[in-house]
Amino acid sequence: MNQFSRNTVLLAAAVALAGCSGANSSGQTDSSPPLQGATIGGPFTLTDQDGKTVTSASFAGKYRVMYFGYTYCPDVCPVDMQHLGQGMRMLAKSDPGVAAKVVPIFVSVDPERDTPPVLKQYVAAFYPTMVGLTGSDQAIAKTAKEYHIFYQKVPAKNGSGQYLINHSQVAYLMSPENKPIALVPVDESAQSVADTLRRWVS
C-alpha cells in the first residue's frame, strides 16, 4: 500500500463515527509514520481547565495526543481516557523520558456543558498532566474541522433537555511541530497506547 492509500485508509478510520458506541482504529507496521503528510491539525486558540487561554503554540516542543470527546459521554470517552491515562502511566514507569515528552489533550465538543471546572475534574481523574480544552462554539468547530472531527448533538427523546453527542472516536499523535504522526489506539488497551507512543516518540 503506497503512502497516499495508507493515509486515505487511516483518515477514513479517523472520521468513523463513535456515536458513543465505539469505532476501531488500525495500527501500521510500516517504518514511516502512518499519518505522515496527512492534512490533519492546525493552529487553535482555546481555554484550558484552569480557565487560561492556550494556543497550539503553547504545546510547542511537546508531542501531544489529541482526543475529541465530551465529559457527559456515557461510555466511549471514559474508557478511551482510561486507556490513555493507564498507557501514559505504563510509559512513565518503563520509559519516563519518553512519557515526559507527551501531553495528552482532551478537547471537548460540548462547550455548553464542559466548562473549565467540569473539565478540570474530568481530566484529573485519568492522568495528572492531561489537559482539558474547551472554548466557544466557533472555536471548537474550527479546531474540530482542522482535525477532521465530526460531531453532532442528538436531542434526548424524552424531552428532558439532556442530549448526547455523536462524534468521531480517534486520538492523534502529533509531533512537537504539530504534524500528524499516527493514530493512538485508545479504543484497544493501555498496553497498545504505551506501545504506540514508545514507537513514535523519540
| Model pLDDT, residue 197 | 98
Query: What is the pTM for the complete model shown?
Result: 0.85
| pLDDT tens sequence across 179-190 | 999 999 999 999
Q: Which long-range contacts (CB under 8 A, 24 or more apart) does 126-130 make?
A: 126/81, 126/82, 126/84, 126/85, 127/84, 127/85, 127/88, 127/89, 129/103, 129/104, 130/81, 130/84, 130/85, 130/88, 130/104, 130/105, 130/106
38 with 180: CB under 8 angstroms? yes
Domain 3-19+40-200 is found in CATH 3.40.30.10:
yes
The answer for residues whose C-beta is within 8 angstroms of residue 62's C-beta and 6 or more apart is 101, 102, 103, 176
Q: Please, what sign has the CA dihedral across residues 182, 48, 138, 20?
A: positive
173 with 200: CB under 8 angstroms? yes
Is 77 labelled a binding residue?
yes
Residue 193, SS3 per DSSP:
helix
Residue 105, SS3 per DSSP:
strand
Mean pLDDT by 10 residues, the chain (202 residues): 36 44 44 92 97 96 98 95 98 97 98 97 97 97 97 83 92 96 97 97 93
Is 20 labelled a binding residue?
no
| Model pLDDT, residue 157 | 79
| Model pLDDT, residue 30 | 53
| pLDDT tens sequence across 32-42 | 899 999 999 99
Distance CA 171, CA 100 (A): 18
